Structure 1
Amino acid sequence: MRAFADALDQIPMTLAENSGLSPIAALASIKSRQVTEKNSRLGVDCMQTGSNDMRDAFVIDPLIGKRQQLMLATQLCRMVLKINNVIIAGSGEEDY
Structure 2
Amino acid sequence: MTFKELVQQDTKEIFLNFDEFGETHLVDGEEKVIIIDTNELVEREKRRDISMAGVFKKRLLFYIQAEDLGGMPKIGGVMLLDRKSYVVTDAINEDGIYSISLEAAKA
Q: TM-score range by the shorter chain?
A: under 0.3
Higher strand share: 2
Higher relative contact order (CA 8 A, sep 6+): 2
